[in-house]
Structure 1
């Protein structure tokens, strides 16, 4: 299922969804955390991104594992394998941080949805903002590292 579509690796076809949706989720989470007056207008978009971004990273991760297995079966070894091992490690971290960001984003949206005020008690505002911003930064960093190591694996270090 995650190996090939019409002879093309699924990973190559789906990885760009993660490259687009993870930064959008990170940006949306930071804005949601820092600009409470925008929450009523953007809660639905953040909730949608909180589902789509982790799903996109999961499909990219699973399809990447299939591609990796196929490449190992074809005898890949040496520096290329080391680069791909790093790439897979970064991809796994991207998935877990994006999943955590998605869950916390959904919790924040649920806590602020349809309240008389879009604000939480001070401890909730500050705690939620700190967690959202930290997870957004980690997700953004690891999606960058994953993409950079993947590009290095394919195109070399130019």
Structure 2
């Protein structure tokens, strides 16, 4: 077993399934945790750890995909898939950072209702109020999550087209034999 092939199969084909599941799962957990801080508190460290595992799998999957690309020939659909795949890492980094921020915010809001204690000016207290922080967390979580999920969809669709575009008999549709 290696990061390029597992038991004779290209590892990319296996790793990609984990990414396709974990990115939307992490995105959903981030949004729910931002909207409902008690959910983030209940998840505890599992929330940023989920983000970290998701982040870690992206470059592993990309590396395995580049290895596979070098062995399938020069195909424009594969090139497009590879180019799209290279764009997922920034989304995965942002998703991890938002899960970390939501975890931290959930802990911070749970510590006390007086989160602005010790802040010397009213202006600074306004920017660190629980409402402003929660609103920012929700907006960022939704934006990052939507971007990551849409990117995974686009990458997956291009990969499916690259893998299957000439690999089955379209004339046999609806015929069972």
Q: Same fold (TM over 0.5)?
A: yes
In the alignment, what sits opposite 1:94? 88
When Rg is computed on C-alpha atoms for both structures, the one with the higher figure is: 2
Select the structure that is richer in helix: 1
In 1, Cα distance between equivalents of 2:62 and 2:34? 28
Structure 1 residues 86, 117: closer, same or farther in 2, change over 3 A? farther
Q: Which ranges in structure 2 are unaligned for 5 or more consecutive residues?
A: 116-128, 171-177
Query: C-alpha offsets along residues 136-157 of structure 1, whole Å, 9 cap, x if unaligned?
Result: 0000001111111111111118
2:139 corresponds to 1:130: yes
2:130 corresponds to 1:152: no
Deviates more, 1:1-10 or 1:87-96: 1-10
**If the length of structure 2 is used for normalisation, what is the TM-score?**
0.76
Query: C-alpha offsets along residues 72-120 of structure 1, whole Å, 9 cap, x if unaligned?
Result: xxxx23xxx2211221122122222022111121122123326424986
Q: Which ranges in structure 1 are unaligned for 5 or more consecutive residues?
A: none
In the alignment, what sits opposite 1:105? 99
Deviates more, 1:138-147 or 1:98-107: 98-107
Deviation at 1:53, TM superposition (A): 0.8
**If the length of structure 1 is used for normalisation, what is the TM-score?**
0.84
In the alignment, what sits opposite 1:142? 151
In 2, Cα distance between equivalents of 1:91 and 1:111? 31
**What pairs up with 1:78-93 in 2 under 5 angstroms?**
81-93=75-87
In 2, Cα distance between equivalents of 1:154 and 1:105? 33
Instruction: Answer whether contact 2:41 2:103 (CA < 8 A) is retained.
Output: no
SS of 1:113's equivalent in the other structure is helix
**What pairs up with 1:9-88 in 2 under 5 angstroms?**
9-71=10-72, 76-77=73-74, 81-88=75-82
In 1, Cα distance between equivalents of 2:94 and 2:56? 12
RMSD: 2.1
Q: How many residues align?
A: 151
